[in-house]
Structure 1
């Protein structure tokens, strides 16, 4: 097996041929039970195809070599290519619960997958301590999500049906991605569409569009439009709906997320206490049943797991049934020296 270093992007060495790439994402479940299988022993991913060839990933939880403090990751072709060497770069990414990348390494050069060596990777990918730590935030629910990208730089598939490939690429270039959703939200944020619902939170009144908040939150959907014959605020003629159990700042953050699909960074920083504000947003996201916002807040709260906060954050996670955040706290406590 070959071993690579990680490095920034370098120039393509494909001899003028267009590279062909593919990505495979998989989950290593019950990670804690994989430890102890022994160095040099690996767990295999499912097969995936890139450039007409079958690939799979090898994960070494106890390391590639004896007494290693690092886990190892390798990508391998199913069969050794006897006719033509396949030169490919590869990238391994460990994903956080919200789908963002917590840690990644990329091969420093295209590696030759040939009859002599059909497996390349990193024998010192990341330390087990870092992998299991709260800083990376990639171990959640005793599971790790891995994304592997293989880029074949000397693909010959371009020459097979090249006209069709070029036609498909030209058609894709002529049809950009739909921007309907972005345009709709931009129009609603502009204020040109009149607000049709008001909320009073702690004496502060907020205006919004009922359909927008209902689309992003099941809590608002049920409250405004109900189920079947249940009472509906939208039809009750209420001038202003009073909401308790949250703060005006947290509710402002909820509305920001609903209209922008991202956390209110300026609001969080302006609060003067990012950890406390993130907790409030986490509470509010759970209250209004906005699962994606809740998971994003949970991922952010991992940054604040320390000796003096781990217990309170774990209690918060348990109170709101957030297994990923609770697991991060338990992992931190498990790493402490007696």
Structure 2
């Protein structure tokens, strides 16, 4: 099922396990006296209640032959577990008696199951004896083992609650801009193309085109509230299609055109985009600008469709369109692009004597 087709009603239940935490401390005096205990013999701390169950710390001077040379320590569940047992996570520490700060030696982050089969968890190689006896963990024939424990009491699920899922409607921004253009509401700029006049909005044009931004808000921008710009050498239908693209990011429908007419329209739109979106070819009758004609040399077997008039105060962007022909028929329309900063000294380098 697609995301847009998902049901609007959402029902949520949450699980937040209940836990109880505690710290067990086993202060062992007479460390040297316990070294004589046989393998597997241990001493046990008093029991501590955590999570409604009793726990203790086991201490082995020597757990087995395999762990010889190390002391061992374990956390033990003293209570008879109910059901399948109880989950708990814990760490085992030694207290640095010089600083009063304990150091974690065993950190059991993942909860372990304590039950009748496995009532103890810990380490048979808790600390090497040689290291312990040369450390501040052992002072005055005394060591202190600490255990921080977190007991999972249960995993209750919350009652079912219904959450209203907000459906975000699809964006209608482009359609709104199209309607704004077609209705010519609150236009603040007019374009005269032959015998037709088109209204538009300066801020939209400047947002979509650095050329329009320079023309409308740059140093030579007309300060009048409603300026009229005359667009030369362009058909009204082409300019109307260009405005439609600027406002909607879409080309207008051309289903009613024949295939040759479509190619012709695309060709003229490339030229219009070159003039109005990537460079400046719009001549303001009230503000003459110093311009020059620039164009890259076409490839062999093609001819240029347009050259571009560029005011010297803006960054130069060039998109040059060519037709590739084969025995008189158009095979493809090819474009290339380049960019130069506003340095008028490069204009002579870009100028072609014969197009």
TM-score (norm 1): 0.39
The higher radius of gyration belongs to: 2
Bigger relative contact order, structure 1 or 2, given CA contacts below 8 A and separation 6+? 1
TM-score (norm 2): 0.37
Greater share of strand = 2
Greater share of helix = 1
